[in-house]
Amino acid sequence: MTQRIQVVENILNANDRLAEENFARIEAAGVFSINIIASPGAGKTSLIEKTLPLLKDKLRVAAIDGDIATSIDADRAAAAGAGASIQINTGGDCHLDAVMLRGALEQLDLTQFDLLIVENVGNLVCPANFKLGTHKTVLVASVPEGDDKPYKYPGTYRGVDALVVNKIDLLPYVDFRMDYFTQGVQVLNPNVTTFPISCRTGEGLDAWVSWLIDRARK
């Protein structure tokens, strides 16, 4: 067990060093970057699809999409208006890591963009452990997932900078206690910026987009 822990620590330390290099590259280009994590079906790609048209003529956006297979998410980002869209297929890994992101960054001229959106693999555990080198980490939660997720995945909720609560249009139809959910989030991450939204109706998207524009212009 001791040997296994040491190996895991070595892997994470090496990843963190590469993440610092990624961050330096992104920062030098003057680009604001976010890493979007969520469980499968929470609405990461839908959020990107709804966000990109609202950023048109405001920010130049590149998207990097991680998934186990296919280029579906990158294709959707490109169709929604991303100036560049790159797909990373992990081949079975349940998360992106700094090495994968570095390979994708090498395919981009970052100086041509203001915002980089990285969509991680759908998973609430592994992506939280591997830094990529982005400025902020955004967690997308959704109403149908249930209100107990902060309690079940404290490490994930504790480490994010912004929280998007998606599919709020389903609140009248789903047993989701927003006060219970919010209490769990606040205990773990009292300073997190939260955006209740509905990708289907568009409710709440303006505040989310304004946050992105403000951070990118700074």
CA distance 121 to 11: 19
Cα angle value 93/97/100 (rounded, 5°): 90
pLDDT, tens digit (0-9, with 9 covering 90-100), for 73-130: 999 999 999 999 999 999 888 999 999 999 999 999 999 999 999 999 999 999 999 9
pLDDT, tens digit (0-9, with 9 covering 90-100), for 17-76: 999 999 999 999 999 999 999 999 999 999 999 999 999 999 999 999 999 999 999 999
Give me 167's structure tokens: 């599919």
- The residues, any chain, with a CB within 8 Å of residue 52's CB and separated by 6 or more, are 61, 63, 77, 80, 81, 82
pLDDT, tens digit (0-9, with 9 covering 90-100), for 143-195: 999 999 999 999 999 999 999 999 999 999 999 999 999 999 999 999 999 99
Q: What is the CATH number of the domain that holds 19?
A: 3.40.50.300
Range of the domain at 210: 2-217
CA distance 26 to 116: 9
Tokens 């001229």, located at residue:
109
Tokens 């100036």, located at residue:
83
The number of distinct structural domains making up the chain is 1
Instruction: For the beta carbon of residue 209, count every other beta carbon within 10 angstroms.
Output: 19
Predicted pLDDT at 17: 96
